[in-house]
Structure 1
Amino acid sequence: MTAPSFDVIAIGNAIVDVMAPCRDEDIVRLGLAKGGMTLVDPDRARELYAAMGPAREISGGSAANTLAGLAALGARCAFIGQVADDQLGEVFAHDIRAGGIAFATPARAGEPSTARCLIFVSPDGQRTMNTFLGASQFLPAEALDPAAIADAAVLYLEGYLWDPEEPRAAMRRAIATAREAGRKVAFTLSDAFVIARHGDDFRALIAAGEIDILFANEHELAALTGIEDFHAGIASLADKVPTVVVTRSEKGAYAISQGAHAEVAAEPIDKVIDTTGAGDLFAAGFLFGFTRQRPLAECLRLGAICAAEIISHYGARPEADLKTLVAAKLG
């Protein structure tokens, strides 16, 4: 097998995040599910945008955030995702390419517009996300670059994008392409609501041996396995997925890989500002270590360091120099 040109290629929602601080009473008044992610239609998106205070627009999307962290660490990355031929689509494409990530998916003409996620950040740093998927849910299989997928060490898939039919078919094709090329497939479950809708699909992929690295938080783990006990839940996947990584918020993270276990504490920070993208950046740190064949515990520590950086400020893209930060933490 030839050495890959990319460390990670990801398929995910191409979204621009619109973020604003809010009060807890605003969450209640607007009928939002605090700390969760809700899909909204164009009318609800307009209503929520009008209710926001002063906001910041930052390119986002779960898998794209992970790649931003990976690229900042020095990894070679590529992204596949659908934007519309509009202003937000140009913003997204500019931002991801400016981060050193290859992005060649053609923009889609006409409606719907580029996806956006309206994020209300409450005083405790919890983010309440309301996502209009827009053009991102119309990623066709024809937009895939099979050569690029086969030329990446890891194909990373975002569970959020499994919901719409068209990109789901594209991701199934991408999995087949990666496996035919002998590459690894990583999958992030994204949210319990995704598992509620597509858990049977995910369990089938796992049973078929299609997933090499599975990312989840402890709530998603319980939803996927139907087992409330954390250690029993992760053990139930140990002989089905080569590497299982589970984040546990302030309790750190745990992983099992080929029979080896590792656990890491959460990195201390002065104050949690915004938890948007914490899991995405944890995956970035872990995958960076994984693609460089670092020990399992070090991969977890890299994830924890990156997650701590992201929750110390608004937005899901790193602001600190991650290379310098990791060097200072790991020596």
Structure 2
Amino acid sequence: MASTARFDVIAIGNAIVDVIARAEDSLIEAEGLVKGSMRLIDAEEAERLYASMGPAVEMSGGSAANTLAGMAALGCKCAFIGQVADDQLGHVFTHDLRALNVAYDTPPLAEGAPTARCLILVTPDGQRTMNTFLGASHLLEQAMIDEARIADSDILYLEGYLWDPPLSRAAMRRAIDVARGAGRKVAFTLSDAFIIDRHGDDFRALIKEGLFDILFANEVEICALAGVEDFDVAVAQVSAEVPLLVVTRSEKGAIAVVEGQRTEVGAEPIDAVIDTTGAGDLFAAGFLAGQAEGRSIAECLTMGAVCACEIIAQMGPRAQIDLKARVAAKLG
């Protein structure tokens, strides 16, 4: 039976503008950064690091927003909830998302913290090291949650990064209650191992309560969540408690486990990795778009792999090619 919901997916996440620049490994080392990781920084550090970056490109980002941008490009109906400020970057973010036909109506903050930005250093091997100033994005309050839209969306997609601030954490907990009360599914992405280090107990409790229908992770994150080093042991442990577990494995492809049934796909071939920013976000976009279309798990994984491949072949997390045509060419 076809869904009667207005939206395929509504997501709650950080509303961030990405500032992306090429960087040598020497800069990563000089700054004492862990290549390929994400860290939170304050306004002063953001200004200092920005001054040390080379020529940069600014574009709207944020993990969940990137996923919706990919889904919209694939023809899905999407909505976003996230906090920006009433400033230049906030206007840029809002325009970019709406231009992609993503419904976005969260009122901007009139005063206080500025719109969030993520300073991304991309090394020659394509790895991205992210330095995030959360700004207004972590001030998302429960009052900003559009409960009617959540109830009118097949899937509520939550970004783990936004679990860190207390205000937005409370807003997301309310959103989960609304979605489940409306009989909708809840999808959650773990986002980063450092988030699991800080809030793993919360996530494990939510999983035990049966509040997540779909859980997205990568290899490092799933092992961190399970508290074990062996990947297969971690997958077996977590998948026993989640209806649908999806784990990306970079060049080794991705897996999904449903009721003990494990499905795997390989990574799509690529000539050169340009920038891994948004790879996991676009994988989720392809997978969830496949879910919205009622496709098999294998096809959903393939759609995710195609989208991830296309995004790492370019700079930035928003697709610059026709994703829908690319997926159609792959699946036939």
Q: Do they superpose with TM above 0.5?
A: yes
Residue 221 of structure 1 is matched in structure 2 by: 222
Give 1:258 deviation, angstroms: 2.5
**Residue ranges of structure 2 left out of the alignment (5+ in a row):** none
Give the distance between the partners of 1:155 and 1:258, measured in 2 at CA. Answer: 21
**SS of equivalent to 2:58:** strand
**SS of equivalent to 1:8:** strand
**Amino acid in the other structure paired with 1:16:** V
Task: Please state if 1:139 is matched with 2:144.
Answer: no
Give the distance between the partners of 1:75 and 1:66, measured in 2 at CA. Answer: 11
Task: Please state if 1:271 is matched with 2:259.
Answer: no
Residue 128 of structure 2 is matched in structure 1 by: 127
Residue 172 of structure 2 is matched in structure 1 by: 171
* Alignment of structure 1 residues 27-176 onto 2, 5 Å: 27-176=28-177
**SS of equivalent to 1:166:** helix
Task: Please state if 1:301 is matched with 2:299.
Answer: no
Task: Please state if 1:325 is matched with 2:326.
Answer: yes
Task: Please state if 1:180 is matched with 2:177.
Answer: no
Give 1:139 deviation, angstroms: 0.2
**Sequence identity of aligned pairs in percent?**
66
Residue 292 of structure 1 is matched in structure 2 by: 293
Give the distance between the partners of 1:214 and 1:136, measured in 2 at CA. Answer: 23
Size of the aligned set, in residue pairs, is 331
Give 1:236 deviation, angstroms: 0.9
Give 1:142 deviation, angstroms: 0.3
**SS of equivalent to 2:238:** coil
Give 1:33 deviation, angstroms: 1.6
Give the distance between the partners of 1:30 and 1:312, measured in 2 at CA. Answer: 27
Residue 26 of structure 2 is matched in structure 1 by: 25
Give the distance between the partners of 1:7 and 1:104, measured in 2 at CA. Answer: 17
Give 1:260 deviation, angstroms: 2.3
**SS of equivalent to 1:237:** helix
Give the distance between the partners of 1:91 and 1:185, measured in 2 at CA. Answer: 29
Give 1:17 deviation, angstroms: 0.1
Q: Any runs of at least 4 consecutive aligned residues in structure 1 with deviations exceeding 2 A, and if so which?
A: none
**SS of equivalent to 1:78:** strand
Residue 210 of structure 2 is matched in structure 1 by: 209
Give 1:62 deviation, angstroms: 0.2
**Residue ranges of structure 1 left out of the alignment (5+ in a row):** none
Give 1:259 deviation, angstroms: 3.0
Give the distance between the partners of 1:303 and 1:134, measured in 2 at CA. Answer: 30
Give 1:228 deviation, angstroms: 1.5
Give the distance between the partners of 1:129 and 1:92, measured in 2 at CA. Answer: 18
Give the distance between the partners of 1:214 and 1:238, measured in 2 at CA. Answer: 9
Give the distance between the partners of 2:22 and 2:273, measured in 1 at CA. Answer: 13
Give 1:37 deviation, angstroms: 0.3
Residue 201 of structure 2 is matched in structure 1 by: 200
Give 1:111 deviation, angstroms: 2.0
**SS of equivalent to 1:271:** coil
**SS of equivalent to 1:7:** strand
List per-residue Cα deviations over 1:80-111 (Å, max 9, x = no partner).
00000100000000000001100000000112
Give the distance between the partners of 1:63 and 1:224, measured in 2 at CA. Answer: 20
Give the distance between the partners of 1:227 and 1:290, measured in 2 at CA. Answer: 30
Give 1:292 deviation, angstroms: 1.7
Give the distance between the partners of 1:182 and 1:61, measured in 2 at CA. Answer: 27
**Amino acid in the other structure paired with 2:180:** R
**Amino acid in the other structure paired with 2:178:** T
